[in-house]
């Protein structure tokens, strides 16, 4: 196999072979000095003190000479002409995967045009035998072509790619490219990563290592100036002169390194500009822009937007503005219960303003199916359930209703009640003797209780529970809270499409003093809001998140089957909210509309979707860092892709990297030489020392 | 004490562990004497020589009462060992003595042990003991005296190798300090020309002293066992020369042997005893040589 050298002039270093020869012939004297009592006799010997004609320790000499020779050859950068990876690649087929970043930030300035140009350049560089694959990625990677597409297919596909509203993640894209190329049998396997290398998309923890032999070339199309964005809004409701108004405040940010003045910020309600503000933003700061309160009589689409800049996609924030909906709560009571018995519960609900609650009371004996229609939540507070009431509640729950059962002294384990409760109902537990029990075990992962997870957000241990009903649940029920003796305090289970919560002690002050504790009001609010379960229906989503269509279907009038999801771009997709289509990924910013199949827009629910605010920060990570981390498993292989298919001599030498092995050999030789020379040195007589030297 | 045990105390490596020179000398001499129990040297110090009339001041324990019973006169016994001679050690403390190579101790230490033992031994024979240390000039001088054993041992204890030595100039000065006929033990490594050494020692001999020269050398000085080429530095002059030991080893050994032979022959011609000692070997040879000298001195009229 012929060998050539990249820098043959360094072979002149072989002259240095004379050095060990000279050393072995001339400089064999020890560095140590032997102190001798008298040189009287030594001086008398007419003999050459140093012999120069004979080489000793041939092994050491050979190792030294070999090390010098290898070092000179290493500097000459040798390469094997016929070796794999060293051959000219002109006739070898390549497999190139183009990773094209189409995240939102790629819409900044001319980044997208430059990215497409770079991708086209790579495609143009493919030969007839080469194959390629185009992968577009934002938060997820999407293969736009088959793995073995030719240049024609790649060009046609590239023309149809547009930037998206998604965020940036490099990991999935690199992983997909690695998997494709791992399965490839082509000699040249290359990944071209075209991106603005946004720092928010770089997560070192999810770095994917490419296999050895796969090279990665980063193409950075980033750069440019600053960016402004609307990060979010806060909507407050106020009642003035009997008219409900919404006060909107938008959070705007200047993510550039230079301050900008007189930035126009608009509040758009139902397509009309309702107010305009001007704000000055310092470099890399955020500011809150408050708009005057506007009266609203219905829910309308709203938006806070900035004057467009180089990245218009993040210049608007979409949301819904409308009057707060009062949540009706039906309170089912004992027929003989006075108003004073439920005063704590009622007052706790009446003070709620987010959302406001309206409490309707009904005796248990008069509970009928009709009043339950459309109710979001029903509370059965220490009331005996007769057959009719039991049937009505059962039907309500099975149809998707939510019920909170509260046990007390009047609760009787009737057959209708047992039909609702999948648990054995025991007698009341009296804890008066030990001054009451405490609620000690709470499932803070449950949505109804997660508010109290953080410290100083609610202390249940201060409440004393003197009595409660002992309930032994079966496997269908989930215990959300227990008393300190292990007895369940709060349970939950599903019946049909509905859900039932059971509190085994009362919400007045007869069986406990929970109503007197600070945690009482937020607990009641969280329980009812959980029963209402419509928090997410009007929530603002972010591009890339998933919209759960099941609760939306519950609130959409007439929704008995499939739903139609209209995207902001106008596309319509039919989804089955009870089946595989329950989870719908939102990929565009704007307003999604979910309506029944065959229904109008007015029958549907509007869901605002905004871009990930992290995408607005255009700060970039070093492209070489990303490429280096991904290619670390491939021994840092990187090379230029575009251009000639034939590898240059420098490129072939760099790929083979024979000099590196030679240097390792040199180090090993020197190591061995040191060991052997040391042993030889020890083998010779140790020079005697004077007493003074010994003492030292 | 067996001979083997006794000889153990003559090993320089063992003696080097004994800090106290008096204890060292006592251990060596007593052990050595015990080891000679059946030897021809036994009793020379207590062999009866003659009777002489008692004189005031003589130890009454030495009166021979049996002679008194026969003669009614007081006679005391005189033994051969009771010579009351002067004994001095002439110790070379030149820089070249501060060397240890193949031996266990430096030449100076070996010389100090030897001097201590001989001094103690002599004192056992009731000799007056003294010491002179010298290099190029006299360093310490302790005149012979019956009470000077401790001083001699102390002088030996603090003797340190110092300047360059030269017997040719030092020994005449020593000779001038010694008045009465003495037994002189000269301990040196003799790094001078034989003529120069002979000149100095002869001067002592001509003044009536009995001289025995102990030529102390380290085994490395005799064998020259060095291997690696290196620079050698003269301990006294500080001169350095590059040396390939393996090339000149044989010639060096021959020169040393010639030097020793020349000294031995020339000194014996002058009736000067010469003993070449190796610091790697026990002290017994030196002691034997000394005993031989004393025996010869006592028996020769």
**Partner-chain residue, chosen from B98, B226, B237, that has the shortest CB–CB distance to A34:** B226
Contact: B231, A33; criterion CB under 8 Å: yes
- The CATH T-level fold of domain A541-613 is Immunoglobulin-like (2.60.40)
Q: Which of A56-60, A234-238, A533-537, B70-74 has the lowest mean pLDDT?
A: A533-537
B164 interface with A at CB cutoff 8 Å: no
Residues of B in contact with A42 (CB under 8 A): 232, 241, 243, 248, 252
Give the pLDDT of residue A35: 86
Tell me whether residues B243 and A44 touch, CB distance under 8 A: no
- Name every residue whose Cβ is closer than 8 Å to that of residue A426 and which is 6 or more positions away in sequence: A469, A470, A471, A472
Cα distance between residue A553 and residue A599, in whole Å: 13
Inter-chain CB proximity B229 and A36 less than 8 Å: no
Residue A487's pLDDT is 92
Do B69 and B127 lie in one domain? The reply is no
Q: Is residue B70 part of a domain?
A: yes
Q: How many angstroms separate the CA atoms of B231 and A35, rounded? A: 8
Tell whether ipTM is more than 0.85. no
Nearest to B230 among A34, A40, A694 (CB): A34
Fold of A327-532: Rossmann fold (3.40.50)
Which of B101, B237, B248 is opposite residue A47, by nearest beta carbon? Answer: B248
Which residues make up the CATH 3.40.50.410 domain(s) of chain A?
94-224+624-641
Considering only alpha carbons, which residue of chain B is nearest residue A56?
A: B228
* Higher pLDDT pick, A627 / B118: B118
Higher pLDDT, A602 or B62: B62
pLDDT in tens, A417-463: 888 888 888 889 999 888 889 988 888 888 888 888 877 777 888 89
Question: Alpha-carbon distance B153 to B277, whole Å?
Answer: 21
Question: By mean pLDDT, which of A237-241, A288-292, B208-212 is the weakest?
Answer: A237-241
**Domain match, B199 and B275 both:** yes
Closest Cα partner for B208 from B271, B149, B269? B271
Superfamily grouping for domain A94-224+624-641: von Willebrand factor, type A domain (3.40.50.410)
- Residue B39, in any domain of the structure: no
Which member of B107, B218, B252 has the closest CB to residue A42?
B252
pLDDT digit of tens for each residue in chain B (301 aa)? 333 444 444 566 666 666 666 677 776 776 666 555 433 333 344 455 577 788 887 888 888 888 889 888 888 876 654 456 788 999 999 999 999 887 778 999 999 988 988 888 888 777 889 999 999 889 999 998 888 888 998 898 888 888 888 888 888 888 888 877 888 999 999 998 998 898 888 888 888 888 889 999 999 998 888 877 788 888 888 888 888 888 888 889 999 999 999 999 988 888 888 888 888 888 777 777 777 766 666 544 3
pLDDT tens-digit map of A341-380: 888 998 988 887 777 888 888 888 888 887 787 777 899 9
Any idea which of A31-45, A69-83, A543-557, B73-87 has the lowest mean pLDDT? B73-87
Q: Cβ of B256 under 8 Å from any chain A Cβ? A: yes
CA-nearest residue to B218 within chain A is A37
Q: A interface toward B at CB cutoff 8 Å?
A: 28-45, 47-51, 681, 684-685, 687-692, 694
Note the pLDDT of residue A416.
85
Q: Which residue from A minimizes the CA distance to B162?
A: A692
Confidence of residue A641 (pLDDT cuts 50, 70, 90): very low
Kindly identify which residue of chain A lies nearest to residue B105, measuring between CA atoms: A691
Give the model's pLDDT for residue A303.
93
Overall domain count for chain B: 2
* A691 pLDDT more than 70: no
Token pair of B164 as six digits: 């360059």
Same domain for B210 and B168: yes
Domain that holds residue B24: 12-34+84-299
Which H or E run contains B50? strand B48-53
In chain A, what residues touch B250 (CB-CB under 8 Å)? none
CA distances to A83, A176, A624, B57, B236 from A179, in Å: 26, 5, 21, 120, 81
Any idea which of A79-83, A439-443, A606-610 has the lowest mean pLDDT?
Answer: A79-83
Tell which of B16, B93, B98, B101 to mutate to test the A interface (max A CBs under 10 Å): B101
Measure in Å the smallest separation between the Cα of A15 and chain B Cα atoms.
27
What's the rounded Cα separation, in Å, for the pair A121 and A112? 14
Residues B104 and B26 in one domain: yes
Cα–Cα–Cα angle for A107, A119, A625, rounded to 5 degrees: 75
| pLDDT over 50 (residue A134) | yes
Could you tell me if B170 and B269 lie in one domain? yes
For B242, nearest residue in chain A (alpha carbons): A49
pLDDT of residue A94: 84
In chain A, what percentage of residues exceed pLDDT 90? 18
Same domain, B262 and B125: yes
8 Å CB contact between B176 and B90? no
Statement to judge: residues B148 and B61 lie in one domain:
no
Query: Is B236 at the interface with chain A, CB within 8 A?
Result: yes
Contacts of A27 in chain B (CB under 8 A): none
At A407 the pLDDT is: 92
pLDDT digits (tens, 9 = 90+) for A507-532: 988 899 999 998 999 999 888 888 87
* Closest of A688, A619, A695 to residue A36, by C-alpha: A688
* Stronger pLDDT, A398 or A632, i.e. the higher one: A398
Q: Which residues in chain A are closer than 8 Å to B220, comparing Cβ atoms?
A: 688
Q: Report how many Cβ contacts below 8 Å link chain A to chain B.
A: 119
Give A52's contacts in chain B (Cβ within 8 Å): none
Sequence ranges of chain A with CATH classification 2.60.40.10: 238-321
Give φ, ψ of A695 to 5 degrees.
Answer: -60, -40
Question: In terms of domains, do B202 and B261 share one?
Answer: yes
How high is the pLDDT of residue A47?
58
Q: How many of the other CB atoms lie within 10 Å of CB of A536? A: 12
Q: Which of A30, A31, A32, A41 to mutate to test the interface with B (most CBs of B within 10 A)?
A: A41
| Chain B residues touching residue A684 (CB < 8 angstroms) | 227-228
Strand ranges inside A82-137, DSSP E:
94-101, 131-137
| A35 contacts in chain B (CB < 8 Å) | 99, 232-233, 235
Same domain, B91 and B74: no
Comparing B277 with A89, which gets the higher pLDDT? B277
Show the tokens assigned to B292.
């031989």
Mean pLDDT of chain A: 82
In chain B, residues 201-220 whose CB comes closer than 8 Å to chain A: 218, 220
Look at residue A686 and tell me whether its pLDDT is greater than 50. no
CATH code: domain of residue B167: 3.40.50.410
Inspect the interface and report whether the beta carbons of B218 and A688 lie closer than 8 Å: yes
Structure tokens at A278: 């001007």
Chain B residues in contact with A32 by the CB 8 A cut-off are: 230
Instruction: Mutation target for B interface from A25, A37, A51, A687: give the one with most B CBs within 10 A.
Output: A37
Strands of A322-373 (E only): list them: 327-333, 357-363
Domain annotation covers residue B120: yes
Residues B61 and B150 in one domain: no
| DSSP conformational letter for A68 | H
Choose the final residue of a domain: B57, B79, B101: B79
What does the pLDDT average to over A556-564? Answer: 69
Q: Is residue B131 part of a domain?
A: yes
Tokens, residue A31: 């560095």
* Contact call for residues A550 and A497 (beta carbons, < 8 A): no
Q: Please state, in angstroms and rounded to a whole number, the distance separating the CA atoms of residues B89 and B120.
A: 11
Residues B53 and B197 in one domain: no
Q: A238-321: which CATH architecture?
A: Sandwich (2.60)
Q: Is B234 on the interface with A (CB under 8 A)?
A: yes
Residue A585, φ and ψ in degrees, nearest 5: -80, 125
pLDDT in tens, A249-260: 999 999 888 888
Residue B4 lies in a domain: no
Is B99–A681 a contact, with Cβ atoms under 8 angstroms apart? no
Q: Do B241 and A43 touch (CB under 8 A)?
A: yes
What value does the CA radius of gyration of chain A take, rounded to a whole number of Å? 40
pLDDT at position A83: 52
Dump pLDDT digits (tens) for A476-486: 788 999 999 99
Residues B146 and B219 in one domain: yes
C-alpha span between A681 and A670 (Å, rounded) = 16
In whole angstroms, give the CA distance from residue A656 to residue A664: 15
């Amino acid at each position: 196999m012929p060998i050539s050298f990249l820098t043959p002039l360094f072979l002149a270093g072989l002259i240095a072979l004379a050095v060990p020869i000279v050393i072995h012939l001339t400089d064999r004297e020890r560095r140590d000095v032997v102190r001798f009592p008298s040189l009287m006799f030594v001086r008398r010997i007419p003999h050459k003190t140093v012999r120069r004609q004979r080489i000793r320790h041939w092994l050491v000499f050979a190792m030294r000479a070999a090390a010098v020779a290898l070092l000179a050859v290493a500097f000459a950068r040798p390469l094997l002409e016929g070796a794999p990876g060293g051959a000219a690649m002109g006739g070898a087929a390549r497999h190139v995967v183009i990773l094209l970043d189409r995240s939102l930030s790629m819409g900044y300035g001319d980044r997208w045009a430059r990215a497409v140009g770079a991708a086209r350049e790579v495609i143009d560089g493919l030969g007839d035998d080469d194959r390629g694959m185009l992968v577009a990625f934002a938060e997820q990677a999407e293969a736009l072509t088959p793995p073995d597409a030719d240049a024609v297919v790649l060009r046609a596909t590239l023309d149809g790619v547009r930037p998206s509203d998604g965020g940036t993640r490099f990991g999935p894209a690199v992983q997909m490219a690695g998997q494709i190329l791992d399965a490839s049998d082509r000699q040249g396997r290359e990944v071209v990563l075209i991106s603005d290398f946004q720092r928010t998309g770089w997560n070192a923890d999810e770095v994917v290592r490419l296999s050895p032999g796969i090279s990665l070339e980063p193409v950075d199309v980033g750069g440019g100036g600053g960016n402004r964005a609307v990060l979010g809004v806060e909507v407050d409701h106020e009642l003035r002169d009997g008219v409900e108004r919404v006060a909107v405040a938008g959070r705007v940010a200047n993510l550039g390194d230079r301050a900008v003045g007189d930035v126009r910020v608009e509040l758009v309600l139902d397509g009309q500009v309702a107010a305009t503000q001007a704000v000055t933003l310092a470099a890399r700061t955020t500011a809150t822009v408050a708009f005057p309160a506007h009266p609203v009589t219905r829910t309308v689409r709203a938006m806070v937007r900035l004057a467009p800049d180089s990245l218009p996609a993040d210049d608007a924030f979409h949301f819904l503005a409308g009057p707060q909906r009062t949540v009706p709560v039906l309170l089912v009571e004992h027929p003989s219960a006075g108003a004073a018995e439920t005063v704590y519960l009622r007052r706790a609900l009446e003070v709620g303003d987010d959302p406001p609650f309206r409490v309707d009371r009904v005796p248990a004996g008069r509970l009928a199916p009709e009043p339950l229609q459309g109710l979001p939540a029903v509370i059965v507070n220490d009331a005996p359930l007769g057959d009719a009431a039991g049937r009505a509640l059962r039907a309500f729950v099975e149809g998707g209703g939510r019920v909170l059962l509260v046990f007390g002294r009047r609760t009787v384990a009737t057959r209708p009640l047992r039909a609702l409760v999948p648990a054995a109902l025991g007698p009341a537990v009296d804890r008066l003797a030990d001054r009451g029990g405490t609620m000690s075990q709470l499932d803070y992962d449950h949505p109804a209780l997660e508010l109290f997870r953080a410290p100083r957000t609610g202390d249940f241990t201060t409440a004393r529970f003197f009595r409660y009903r002992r309930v032994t649940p079966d496997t269908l029920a989930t215990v959300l809270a227990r008393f300190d003796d292990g007895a369940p305090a709060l349970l939950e289970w599903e019946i049909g499409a509905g859900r039932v919560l059971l509190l085994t002690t009362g919400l007045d002050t007869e069986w406990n003093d929970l109503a007197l504790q600070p945690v009482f009001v937020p607990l009641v609010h969280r329980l009812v809001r959980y029963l209402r379960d419509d928090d997410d229906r009007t929530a603002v989503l972010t591009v890339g998140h998933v919209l759960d269509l099941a609760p939306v279907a519950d609130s959409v009038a007439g929704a008995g089957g499939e739903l139609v999801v209209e995207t902001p771009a106008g596309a319509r997709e039919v989804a089955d909210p009870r089946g595989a289509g329950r989870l719908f990924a939102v990929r565009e910013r704007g307003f999604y509309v979910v309506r029944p199949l065959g229904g109008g827009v007015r029958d549907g629910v509007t869901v605002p979707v905004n871009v990930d605010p992290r995408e607005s920060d255009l700060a970039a990570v070093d492209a070489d860092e990303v490429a280096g981390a991904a290619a670390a498993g491939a021994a840092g292989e990187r090379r230029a892709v575009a251009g000639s298919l034939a590898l240059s001599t420098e490129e072939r030498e760099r790929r083979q990297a024979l000099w590196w092995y030679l240097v390792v050999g040199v180090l090993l030789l020197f190591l061995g030489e040191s060991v052997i020379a040391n042993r030889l040195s020890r083998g010779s007589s140790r020079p005697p020392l004077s007493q003074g030297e010994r003492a030292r | 004490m067996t001979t083997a045990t006794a000889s153990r105390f003559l090993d320089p490596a063992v003696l080097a562990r004994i800090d106290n020179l008096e204890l060292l000398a006592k251990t060596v001499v007593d052990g050595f004497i015990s080891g000679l129990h059946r030897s021809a040297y036994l009793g020379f110090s207590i062999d009866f020589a003659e009777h002489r009339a008692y004189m005031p001041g003589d130890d009454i324990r030495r009166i021979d009462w049996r002679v008194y019973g026969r003669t009614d006169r007081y006679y005391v016994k005189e033994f051969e060992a009771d010579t009351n001679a002067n004994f001095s050690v002439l110790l070379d403390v030149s820089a070249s003595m501060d060397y240890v190579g193949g031996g266990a101790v430096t030449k100076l230490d070996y010389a100090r042990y030897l001097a201590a033992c001989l001094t103690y031994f002599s004192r056992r024979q009731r000799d007056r003991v003294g010491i002179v240390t010298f290099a190029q000039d006299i360093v310490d001088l302790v005149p012979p005296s019956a009470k000077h054993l401790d001083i001699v041992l102390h002088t030996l204890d603090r003797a340190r190798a110092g300047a360059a030595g030269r017997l040719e100039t030092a020994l005449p000065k020593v000779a001038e300090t010694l008045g009465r006929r003495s037994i002189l033990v000269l301990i040196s490594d003799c790094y001078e020309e034989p003529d120069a050494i002979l000149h100095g020692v002869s001067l002592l001999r001509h003044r009536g002293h009995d001289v025995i020269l102990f030529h102390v050398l380290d085994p490395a000085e005799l064998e020259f066992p060095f291997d690696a080429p290196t620079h050698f530095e003269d301990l006294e002059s500080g001169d350095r020369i590059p040396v390939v030991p393996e090339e000149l080893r044989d010639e060096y050994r021959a020169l040393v042997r010639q030097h020793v032979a020349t000294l031995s022959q020339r000194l014996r011609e002058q009736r000067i005893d010469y003993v070449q000692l190796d610091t790697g070997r026990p002290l017994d040879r030196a002691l034997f040589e000394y005993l031989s000298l004393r025996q010869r001195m006592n028996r020769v009229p």
